[in-house]
Amino acid sequence: MNGPHDLGGLHGFGAIATEPADGSGPKFHAPWERRALGLTLAMGATGRWTLDRSRATREGLPPAVYLSAPYYGIWILALQRLLLQERLVTAGELATGQPTTPAVAGLRVLPADAVDAVLARGSPTERPARTAARFAEGDRVRAANRHPAGHVRLPRYVRGHVGRVTRVHGAHIWPEAHALPPPDPDRRDGWVADDTAVWLYTVTFDGETLWGPDAEPGTTISADLFEPDLQAVDGVEND
């Protein structure tokens, strides 16, 4: 979706306040941020939604809210939406902070002593390839010019432009499909998120191709793009 999160190349947002590169800066800037991260991790571990759906929910916040909220504030607002969508809380419970309905049974629980191991393991997205890669390193490709309403990992500023494949990463879960919710949250029996894997590539673009003559000389931009978002240029494509 063309949401407020996709700010690459836009003017008017000022300088980015960076943290020390050596990681010595504070991990959290207020106690509530630590709690926000903990709540998001704990609820994500229940398995009621995927990481891609969580990201899509943040991207779907109203622009005025997204652009004015602090980083972890965006996480909490999206978490509230997910909890309501999954019938895990009611609007009244969110407003008062008090439970008034029975707890939902069968949710997975992430024990405190398992958190470090879970975070260290991460959530690998690479899967066995179902088809041969369409492109190889060195191929010229065009980023598709499309504007889907759902979750998309295709930055606006590269759409329609030609770049060159500089790395092939293998087949990975297609985030656009993986972000889709169940058709009916009240009927989840047998439903699993779509984990179809597609090929992932690093595509490098010349700065002038993207920004025109105003680009800084010698600038290149690399983006990791999925095969459905790429088109062959000049008919060059692997069989």
Q: 205 in a domain, yes or no? A: yes
* Torsion angle defined by CA atoms of residues 39, 56, 200 and 147, in that order, rounded to the nearest 10 degrees: -170
CA–CA gap between residue 181 and residue 199 (Å, rounded): 23
The structural domain count of the chain equals 2
**Could you give the C-alpha distances from 166 to 47, 75, 163, 199, in angstroms and in order?**
35, 33, 9, 14
Of 141, 143, 133, 137, give the one whose Cα is nearest residue 233. 141
pLDDT of residue 236: 53
- Three-state DSSP at 122 gives coil
Q: 1 in a domain, yes or no? A: no
Residues of the chain where predicted confidence (pLDDT) is lower than 70: 235-239
pLDDT of residue 8: 86
CATH at residue 183: 2.30.30.50
Q: 10 in a domain, yes or no? A: no
Q: What is the pLDDT of residues 179-201, one digit of tens each?
A: 999 988 787 777 889 999 999 99
- Three-state DSSP at 50 gives coil
pLDDT of residue 239: 37
Q: What is the pLDDT of residues 15-35, one digit of tens each?
A: 888 888 888 888 899 999 999
pLDDT of residue 150: 87
Q: How many CA atoms lie within 13 A of 232 on its CB side?
A: 10
98 shares its domain with 151? no
For the whole model, what pTM was predicted?
A: 0.89
CB 141 within 8 A of CB 230: yes
What residue type is assigned to position 20 of the chain? P
pLDDT of residue 235: 62
Q: How far is CA 176 from the centre of its chain?
A: 9
CATH at residue 59: 1.10.472.20
pLDDT of residue 238: 43
What domain range includes position 49?
A: 31-121
